[in-house]
């Protein structure tokens, strides 16, 4: 009996070794690809990966979606085990990742695929990954704040002329005070923090000065004050209500959400909508706060030159075939795709329809931008609604960011 048990155990051990060995051999010729694409966009990336693998490359791609990707990245980098071959990160992560020394330059990848170059991508998407002359990323897209409009409501209130110059101003919005039916609103508060950051650019301001965060500034105060006028006039959807859903229900003229929302809006029966730029403090300038999904390689000693060359083949495939990604409502970064006739059928093509629109897509690249954005998202709603004193809260916001930076520099998590 003992010999029989030992024989069974040896067989199980042999099987385990064989399975692990098979996984190892499989991983050797597999590009492990991590993304944070937990929404519908994950399915579109799955399809792109499937299409690439169908070309029968030597190195196939395995797409792994994780909701807490940045936490997992920190874990694997600290342990040195399980680091993915390729990942998608957001634009605002690049400066800190480069500073921490956790990104591998795309030099080998670009040498293997010469069409992976600046001239073939939207300029700000490419520039986001360039730090002191070294290219650390290859862009997939730009995803931007956008302002959708309800065509029926614009006609109902006789304000279709607001769109004549593609810039809806705050003054134009305020002109509708007292003219709306009960239950209707001019604009919602979707992605309000993004709207605030756009106004800062419209007003010629910024969020840093000499490398330090600049939150308690005149530009920030003016941006919030201008938006507050809309709320004070009763033209913004009520505090605590879901303005996004109110737009889909047909009770809001303008919704300031994201380019990716077009797919959800299109699924609403009877909602006749279009897209334009985020409203502005002036008819002379407009900004659409944006970000970018970027392909990157985390530091990984086990990644071979051959695998980096294979990654280049995958990224070149994406550059040529990312019309599939347009289905997710994203502004594709590849010029080859956005200049194609097929791309014109997607609503977000509005944002690449001319040079001025492309220039309006503003990506913040300040190292501590995530902390500034968190402060704005945390406090802007209460300021705009008049729930707090603006001057006192700006002081609080400035300290909020400075404390976050101090925590980060001290190694706190």
pLDDT of residue 162: 98
Bridge partners of residue 135, in order along the sequence: 130
Domains 12-140+292-321 and 144-290+365-409 share a fold: yes
Element (H, E) at 82: none
pLDDT of residue 28: 83
pTM for the model stands at 0.91
Which fold would CATH assign to domain 144-290+365-409?
A: D-Maltodextrin-Binding Protein; domain 2 (3.40.190)
Digitized pLDDT (tens) for each residue of the chain, 413 residues in all: 444 443 444 343 333 333 333 333 347 899 999 999 998 999 999 999 999 999 999 999 999 998 899 999 999 999 999 999 999 999 999 999 999 999 999 999 999 999 999 999 999 999 999 999 999 999 999 999 999 999 999 999 999 999 999 999 999 999 999 999 999 999 999 999 999 999 999 999 999 999 999 999 999 999 999 999 999 999 999 999 999 999 999 999 999 999 999 999 999 999 999 999 999 999 999 999 999 999 999 999 899 999 999 999 999 999 999 999 999 999 999 999 999 999 999 999 999 999 999 999 999 999 999 999 999 999 999 999 999 999 999 999 999 999 999 997 754 33
- Paired tokens of 209: 């000065």
Tell me which DSSP letter residue 186 carries.
E
Bridge partners of residue 334, in order along the sequence: 121
276: three-class secondary structure by DSSP: strand
> Which residue from 185, 180, 291 is spatially nearest to 246, judged by alpha carbons?
185
Q: Where are the domains of the chain?
A: 12-140+292-321, 144-290+365-409
Count H helices, E strands: the chain?
18, 18
Element (H, E) at 317: helix 305-321
Q: Which CATH class is domain 12-140+292-321?
A: alpha beta
pLDDT of residue 8: 42
pLDDT of residue 410: 54
Q: Are 278 and 201 in contact (CB under 8 A)?
A: no
Helices (H), 166-304: 170-174, 192-202, 218-232, 243-248, 262-266
> Which residue from 139, 129, 133 is spatially nearest to 97, judged by alpha carbons?
129
């Amino acid at each position: 009996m003992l010999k029989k048990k030992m024989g069974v155990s040896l067989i199980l051990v042999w099987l385990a070794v064989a399975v692990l060995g098979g996984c190892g051999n499989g991983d050797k010729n597999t590009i492990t690809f991590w993304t944070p694409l937990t929404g519908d966009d994950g399915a579109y990336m799955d399809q792109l990966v499937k299409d690439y693998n169908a070309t029968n490359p030597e190195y196939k791609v395995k797409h792994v979606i994780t909701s807490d990707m940045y936490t997992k990245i920190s874990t694997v980098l600290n342990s040195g085990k399980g680091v993915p071959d390729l990942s998608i990160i957001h634009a605002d992560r690049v400066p800190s990742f480069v500073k921490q020394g956790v990104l591998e330059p795309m030099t080998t990848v670009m040498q293997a695929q010469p069409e992976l170059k600046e001239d073939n991508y939207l300029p700000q998407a490419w520039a986001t990954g360039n730090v002191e002359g070294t290219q650390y990323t290859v862009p997939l897209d730009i995803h931007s704040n956008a302002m959708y409009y309800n065509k029926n409501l614009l006609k109902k209130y006789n304000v279709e002329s607001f769109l004549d110059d593609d810039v809806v101003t705050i003054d134009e919005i305020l002109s509708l005070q007292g003219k709306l039916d009960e239950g209707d609103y001019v604009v919602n508060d979707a992605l309000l923090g993004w709207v605030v950051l756009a106004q800062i650019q419209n007003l010629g301001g910024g969020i840093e000065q000499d490398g330090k965060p600049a939150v308690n500034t005149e530009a920030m105060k003016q941006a919030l004050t201008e938006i507050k006028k809309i709320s004070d006039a009763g033209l913004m959807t009520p505090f605590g209500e879901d303005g996004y859903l109110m737009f889909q229900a047909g009770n809001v003229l303008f919704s300031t959400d994201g380019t990716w929302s077009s797919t959800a809006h299109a699924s609403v029966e009877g909602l006749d909508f279009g897209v334009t730029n985020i409203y502005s403090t002036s008819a002379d300038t407009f900004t659409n706060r944006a970000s970018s999904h970027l392909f990157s390689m985390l530091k990984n000693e086990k990644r071979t030159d051959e695998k980096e060359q294979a990654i280049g083949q995958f990224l070149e495939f994406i550059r040529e075939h990312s019309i599939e990604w347009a289905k997710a409502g994203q502004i594709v970064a590849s010029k080859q795709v956005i200049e194609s006739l097929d791309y014109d059928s997607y609503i977000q093509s509005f944002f690449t329809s001319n040079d001025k629109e492309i220039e309006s897509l503003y990506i913040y690249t300040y190292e501590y931008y995530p902390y500034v954005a968190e402060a704005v998202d945390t406090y802007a709603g209460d300021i705009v609604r008049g729930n707090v004193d603006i001057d006192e809260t700006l002081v609080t916001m400035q300290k909020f960011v400075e404390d976050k930076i101090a925590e980060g520099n001290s190694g706190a998590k």
